[in-house]
Amino acid sequence: MAPSKLEAEDHSRDAAFNKAMHGKSAQEKAGFLAMLAKDKEAQGAAVDEYFKFWDGKGAGQETDKDMKERVENYATLTRHYYNLATDLYENGWGQSFHFCRFYPSEPFYQAIARHEHYLAHMMGMKAGMKVLDVGCGVGGPAREIVRFTDANVTGLNNNDYQIDRATQYAAKAGLSHKLDFVKGDFMQMSFEPETFDAVYAIEATVHAPSLEGVYSQIFKVLKPGGVFGVYEWLMTDDYDASNPKHREICHGIEVGDGISQMVRISEALRAIKAAGFELEFHEDLAQRGDAIPWYYPIAGEMKYVRSLGDFFTILRMTRFGRGAVHKLIGGLETVGVAPYGTQKTADSLAVAADSLVAGAKLNLFTPMYLMVARKPMN
C-alpha cells in the first residue's frame, strides 16, 4: 500500500512545535534528564497525535482504513514517534539507534560500531566522498562513519529535536566541519539531483510509506555510478499477514517503532530494482548463524554480557529492568515530574521489543537485510 499523495511539509510548524515541546532539553547530556525537561502540554499533544493511529486499532481490530490512514500520515506519525521516543532510546540504548551482530566477548558498543564500519566497507566509502545519511537519528552512525572513512556526511531527518541533538554531538566531537544535518522528508528530498557520491540508511527507510518511493529519491540524488547501502527492517517471506499470530507480532513492531507498514524481503528487492538500481549484493545478516543472537540485548539474555558497562545496559532491557523503569516513570508522571505519556511511550517500546524477539525466533523478521546497489553510469 503506497500513499495516494505525500504529506505537505511545514518546517515552520515543526520548528515551532520543537521549541514548544523540547525547549532547551536538546542541550541535556543524558537522555533521562532531557526526557524530564519537556513541556507537558506539548508532549501531551504529541502523545495524542501519535497514539490516535494505534489506540483501539490492534491486530485483529484494525481496518483497511486504519492502515491506509497510517500510510497517508507517515511523516507526522514518524516525527511524533521520535519526539516521544528519542530520549528513551538514548537512555536505554545509546546514540546509534540500530541493532547489530555480536561476536563472543565483544562489548556492546564495539559491536554497534563494527556494524556501521561493515556497511561503509561494503559500500567502498573513501575519504573526501560526499555522503548522505538518510534518517540519521541523533547522528551516532554518521559520527562513527566520518571517523572510520574521513568522508563528509550530511544527515537527513524530519525530526527537529534529533537534528538539534545530532548537531550538538557533532560539535562536541569536533566533527562539525565534516558533518551537517538537514531537515526534510526522505520521500521528497530537496537536494539537487546527482549531489552525492554515496547514500546509506541504517534501519531508517522502514519508516517510508513506500520503499520504491524512498529508493527512487535516493537514486535521484546519487551521482551516476554512486552507491547506496542499506540495513533494512523487513518481514521475511515466511511472514503471512493472514496468520493472526504473525500479524500480532508485526503490529507490535509497527506500533512500538513508529512504522506505518512493514513489508517483506521480496518487496524490498523488487523496490530497489524498480527504482533503477543495479543490485550488487544482498544478504540477511541475521541468518549468519551467529552464536550470539542479534536480539540478545532486548531479550535481556544476561548470559552473553561480558563487561560491567554492558551489564547495566542490558539489565535495563530485561523484564525486571523494564518493569522497574515502568514503575519509576509511572511514579514520576503521577507526581508531575515526568510529562504525560512518558510511561505509555515506554510501554509501547517494551511491546516492540517483545515483538521483535518473537519475530526473530519465528524467522518472521530481520533488522539487518543488507543491500548494496549502484546507480548506472548512464
Per-residue pLDDT, averaged over 173-185, amounts to 98
Q: Nine-digit cell at 31?
A: 537522555
Phi and psi at residue 230, in whole multiples of 5°? Answer: -145, 140
Q: What is the pLDDT confidence band of residue 5, given thresholds at 50, 70 and 90?
A: confident
Is residue 335 over pLDDT 80? yes
> Which 8-state DSSP code applies to residue 7?
P
Q: What is the pLDDT of residue 180?
A: 98
Helix H or strand E encompassing 211: helix 211-221
Q: pLDDT tens, 131-159?
A: 999 999 999 999 999 999 999 999 999 99
- Indicate the range of 44-58, 64-78, 86-100, 320-334 predicted with least confidence: 320-334
Is residue 3 over pLDDT 90? no
Q: What is the pLDDT of residue 257?
A: 97
DSSP β-bridge partners for residue 278: 374
Q: Are strands 179-183 and 278-284 parallel, antiparallel or unpaired?
A: unpaired
CA 192 → CA 79, 188, 261, distances in Å?
24, 11, 29
Distance linking the first and last C-alpha atoms of the chain:
31
> How many CA atoms does the CB half-sphere of 320 hold within 13 Å?
7
Q: What is the pLDDT of residue 157?
A: 98
Structure pTM? 0.96
Q: Which residue has the cell 524512498?
A: 214
Q: What percent of the chain has a predicted confidence (pLDDT) above 70?
A: 100
> Which 8-state DSSP code applies to residue 250?
H
Per-residue pLDDT, averaged over 349-377, amounts to 97
Biggest alpha carbon distance in the chain? 63
Is residue 2 over pLDDT 80? no
Is residue 4 over pLDDT 80? no
Residue 193 carries which side chain, given as an amino acid letter?
P
**Where does residue 62 fall: left (phi above 0), alpha (psi -120 to 50 degrees), or beta otherwise?**
beta
Is residue 167 over pLDDT 90? yes
Q: pLDDT tens, 19-75?
A: 999 999 988 877 788 888 999 999 999 999 999 999 999 988 999 999 999 999 999
Q: pLDDT tens, 283-310?
A: 999 999 999 999 999 998 999 998 888 8
Q: What percent of the chain has a predicted confidence (pLDDT) above 90?
A: 87
CA distance 42 to 44: 5
Per-residue pLDDT, averaged over 350-372, amounts to 97
CA distance 104 to 260: 35
Q: Are 296 and 102 in contact (CB under 8 A)?
A: yes
Q: Nine-digit cell at 232?
A: 533494512
Is residue 105 over pLDDT 90? no
Q: Are strands 222-235 and 365-374 parallel, antiparallel or unpaired?
A: antiparallel
Q: Which domains does the chain have, with CATH numbers?
A: 11-20+31-293+363-377 (3.40.50.150)
Helix H or strand E encompassing 356: helix 342-361
CA distance 95 to 196: 25
Q: pLDDT tens, 194-233?
A: 999 999 999 999 999 999 999 999 999 999 999 999 999 9
Q: At what angle do helices 40-51 and 342-361 cross, to 10 degrees?
A: 40
- Per residue in 219-252, is it b (16+ CB within 10 Å) or e — as a string? bbbbbeebbbbbbbbbbbeebeeeeeebbebbbb
Question: Cα 204 vs. chain centroid, distance in angstroms?
Answer: 4
Q: Which residue has the cell 560491567?
A: 308
Q: What is the pLDDT confidence band of residue 6, given thresholds at 50, 70 and 90?
A: very high
- Cα dihedral 6, 211, 209, 42, rounded to 10, equals -90
Q: Nine-digit cell at 302?
A: 544476561
3-class DSSP string for 49-90: HHHCCCCCCCCCCCCHHHHHHHHHCHHHHHHHHHHHHHHHHH
Per-residue pLDDT, averaged over 345-370, amounts to 96
Q: What is the pLDDT confidence band of residue 185, given thresholds at 50, 70 and 90?
A: very high
Q: Nine-digit cell at 85?
A: 521516543
